[in-house]
Amino acid sequence: MTATVAAPERRRVYRLIPAEHGHRLTRQEDAVPRPAGREVLVRIRAASLNYRDLMVRRGQLGEVRDGLIPLSDGAGEVVAVGSEVTQWRAGDRVAPLFYPLWTAGKYREAYGPSALGGGNSDGVLADVIAVPEASLVRVPDTLDFAEAATLPCAALTAWQALVVRGGVAAGDTVLVQGTGGVALFGLQIATALGARVIVLSSSDDKRERASRLGAFATVNYRTTPDWDIEVRKLTDGLGVSHLLELGGPGTFDRSLRAIRAGGHIAQIGVFTGFGPQSNLMRLQLINASIDGINVGSGEQFAAMNSFIAGRGLKPVIDRSFAFDEAEAAYAHLASGQHFGKVVIRF
């Protein structure tokens, strides 16, 4: 038996259909799924895009099921619950986990295929979705749905890297690469903890905006390609204590030179390709470490949400698009013009 509270009958949904190059986005309408025993129906109010969503569409992250609903990140409200659901009721403000199976503890490889909006697992670009009750977290009351929709991947990745694995503390120095989603959450979280954050950006206008958000210093990595030297100068010749490595092969060697003795590199991104091939000898010589970072668990997400609410942090939304403008939202992210997050409001 299923308890249903004013759930709609039909929904708008986008699906990925194979095309000549990657996948095209098609808009459809279909019946709203019924929640099974332990499932919850969530009316998605906003979704946000990540660099990963571009890679999924281009087919860079492996096979995508024909008709997959894209996007991992959304927030909304519970509209109906299955008969065995105990944790949620209609009206609760929630966000689904990027890895629905990774609720707590350490990451396991078996969680990988469950990632929303990739491979075979439907994502959030639909008015209403059905998800297991254990795969939801409550979103902060301090955020509206558009702001909350930016948290599941970008914010949680920065949180795991800096707080859970890195243990960032007051007085530390942090480097973030670029001014996209992960980088700006890194800037905001580390600054709130009393660290001094250096931001790399290819745009002087975005550097200015990063300074207004609290960056201790900024470096233009286009006009200063030896940015590692500049970063050392900015840290009394020592290098930074934490670094969010977002570039991959094209940035890793410089990251190794920009990290200080005993420092912590969080390996996260793939902007310049997959798999850095750097010589890791320097890491050994300076007793530094690299952690591979893969988003985060539900437990980590909940802790981050308390922090965000407690510190009054507001995600930086560059631009919002309407549901009908999903294609334009993808194009805006792909242009690299954004500062922070690109959002779709339903």
Binding site residues, ligand NAP, CB under 6 A: 50-52, 153-154, 157, 177-182, 200-203, 206, 221, 246-247, 250-251, 268-272, 293-295, 333, 336
Report the nearest approach of ligand NAP to the CB of residue 332 (Å). Answer: 10
Report the nearest approach of ligand NAP to the CB of residue 74 (Å). Answer: 15
Nearer to ligand NAP, 50 or 235 (CB): 50
Report the nearest approach of ligand NAP to the CB of residue 286 (Å). Answer: 22
- Between 181-192 and 298-311, two packed helices, what is the crossing angle to 10 degrees? 60
Rounded to the nearest 10°, the torsion over CA 304, 308, 313, 316 is 50
Report the nearest approach of ligand NAP to the CB of residue 325 (Å). Answer: 18
Alpha carbons 145 and 320: distance in angstroms, whole number: 12
Burial code of 189-228, b = ≥16 C-beta within 10 A, e = fewer? bbbbbebbbbbbbebeebbebbeebebbbbbbbeeeeebb
SS3 content of the chain, % helix, strand, coil (to 5): 30, 30, 40
Burial code of 18-56, b = ≥16 C-beta within 10 A, e = fewer? eeeeebebeeeeeebbebeebbbbbbbbbbbbbbbbbbb
Nearer to ligand NAP, 63 or 204 (CB): 204
Cα radius of gyration rounded to whole Å, the chain: 20
Distances (CA, A) of 253 to 175, 257, 283: 14, 7, 11
Nearer to ligand NAP, 217 or 268 (CB): 268
| Three-class SS state of 269 | coil
Nearer to ligand NAP, 56 or 85 (CB): 56
Report the nearest approach of ligand NAP to the CB of residue 62 (Å). Answer: 14
Report the nearest approach of ligand NAP to the CB of residue 96 (Å). Answer: 16
Nearer to ligand NAP, 11 or 251 (CB): 251
Report the nearest approach of ligand NAP to the CB of residue 9 (Å). Answer: 35
| Three-class SS state of 201 | strand
| Three-class SS state of 159 | helix
Report the nearest approach of ligand NAP to the CB of residue 190 (Å). Answer: 15
Nearer to ligand NAP, 30 or 226 (CB): 226
* Structure tokens that stand for 165 in this block: 């694995």
Nearer to ligand NAP, 292 or 310 (CB): 292
Q: Which residue is nearest to ligand NAP (CB)?
A: 180
Nearer to ligand NAP, 13 or 151 (CB): 151
Please report, as a single letter, which amino acid is at residue 78.
Answer: V
Alpha carbons 172 and 152: distance in angstroms, whole number: 26
